[in-house]
Amino acid sequence: MYESVCYRKPFLKEVIVRVDLASTISAIDQVLPPKIANVALNHFPITEPKKVLEQSLQIGPAEFRHSKSEVTQWHYYGKNREKRLAIASASLLATYSKYTSYEDLKEDFLAVLRVFFETYPDARASRVGLRYINNIEIPSTNPFSWAQYIAPAMLGLLDFFQEREHLTRIFHIVEFRFEDLNVKFQFGLPNPEFPSVIKSPIFVLDLDGYVQGSQDFSEIGINIDLAHTRIQKLFEESVTEELRRVMRATSGT
């Protein structure tokens, strides 16, 4: 039902796709194989590697051992810094501040992930996640008037509390389990001025889908698709036709 939904300008603050590795690939702490770097540059043409200090603590029967080492995280950016790729020994992630489509995100990320898993065939993922953070901001003099844009059933607490001039935050967390897929849905009025009372008309729909457990490259792609399908469905069920009209006229997930 929602597979073909694509808005011209969504209220997306950030989109994140991330793979955590079951075992660290310490070989890339100092040098990233050229094959991986070249594919990363094809999709994220600005490179800015960053040195970070990594600390570890080993506890044995007779002693504690604390060690520090300098490692490199490999950061790549889109030409306008609208997207970022980060490759480290324990994870790979991509973030988007300007979102075009799920297909573009998947093409970018899986192209790099494919060559990474080809280079390190024993690598496995321990967690795969996809997250969409929607900050819906509609010019309004009343930060509590959302019935025109958000599904009315989600606004029950706004009707319950009558002393709105004293409210400083209203936020909900709902979690789902669909077989192996977990979805964490956070929504409400986050209030960027907290702990002051709510004044800014902002409604957040933060949808995070993830699968935990050992996964190979082919399973990662499937699980990202599963997460996107559930996230898109929940987003569409959470908004009204009026908000869709606004996003088409002036793009959710």
Same domain, yes or no, for 137 and 237?
Answer: yes
Which pLDDT does position 215 carry in this prediction? 97
Q: Domain residues for 139?
A: 1-22+125-253
Tell me, yes or no, whether 107 and 38 share the same domain: yes
- Same domain flag for 148 and 62: no
Across 81-115, b (16+ Cβ under 10 Å) vs e yields: eebbbbbbbebbbbbbeebeebeebbebbbebbbb
Question: Which pair of tokens denotes residue 185?
Answer: 């849905």
Joined together, the tokens standing for residue 125 give: 């993922």
The one-digit pLDDT tens for each residue of the chain (253 residues) are 455 577 888 999 999 999 999 999 999 988 999 999 999 999 999 999 988 766 555 565 666 554 566 788 999 999 999 999 999 999 999 999 999 899 999 999 999 999 999 999 999 999 999 999 999 998 876 899 999 999 999 998 887 887 888 899 999 999 999 999 999 999 999 988 899 999 999 999 999 999 999 999 999 999 999 999 999 999 999 999 999 999 987 544 5
Q: Which helix (H) or strand (E) holds 20?
A: strand 12-21
Same domain, yes or no: 169 and 235:
yes
165 lies in the same domain as 246: yes
Same domain for 16 and 76, yes or no, is no
pLDDT for the residue 60: 57
Domain boundary among 123, 138, 156: 123
- Select from 93, 123, 153 the last residue of a domain: 123
- pTM of this structure: 0.90
- Judge if 4 and 62 occupy the same domain: no
* Number of domains observed in the structure of the chain: 2
pLDDT of residue 159: 79
CB 171 within 8 A of CB 186: yes
| 115, 149: one domain | no
| Residues 143 and 108 grouped into a single domain | no
**Residues 58, 106: Cα–Cα separation, whole Å:** 38
What are the phi and psi torsion angles at 31 (to 5°)? Answer: -135, 130
> Do residue 95 and residue 138 come from a single domain?
no
135 and 49 fall within a common domain? no
Indicate the residue among 123, 149, 176 that finishes a domain. 123
Residues 56 and 179 in one domain: no
What pLDDT, on a 0 to 100 scale, did the predictor assign at position 252?
47
